[in-house]
Amino acid sequence: MDIRDVMTTRELAEALNLNQAYVLRRAKEELEMDVDYRSTGKRSYIFAPSAYDKMKVKTIPKLIKAEMLPNMRIHLEFDNGESRFLSSQLEQDYFEKVKKLRNWAVGINMLPTVAWQGNESSIDQDGNLRMGGKTYTSQELYEKSTRHI
């Protein structure tokens, strides 16, 4: 094997047009350690050419169903039969605001309340989810979601 064929996580992510965190998660699920990739330090990996070949074949499934769950989470179902869970951007925004208000709110015994801003959502024929005035692609939802809550 030629050393020029070995890829870093960043290079592999760019070649696959995916983010690095998603590439690492897929590598741990789909590739064989010390055959297709190996660790070079804390959170640092290199990949053999076989890793690119194996990972480029997988296509992103299309979203077919989305339902709101308690605690601002979303249950997603894809056309490959896979169910995944996503913490909504609203949840992330909420907890960011709570961190800023925590000291002030605790000082006067006032805790913030969580509520959804409407329940309108739709999925178009390409599997894109429109919710809260924003559109999320199937790829974005699949990459940011997890198999378990």
Mean pLDDT by 10 residues, the chain (149 residues): 86 87 88 92 90 81 87 85 79 62 55 54 88 84 83
- Give the per-residue pLDDT at 90: 53
| Alpha-carbon span 9 to 14, nearest angstrom | 9
Region of 132 (left: φ > 0; alpha: ψ -120 to 50; beta: rest) is left
Q: What is the domain partition of the chain in residue ranges?
A: 7-58, 63-144
- Give the per-residue pLDDT at 11: 93
- Give the per-residue pLDDT at 110: 53
CB atoms < 10 A from the CB of 33, how many? 11
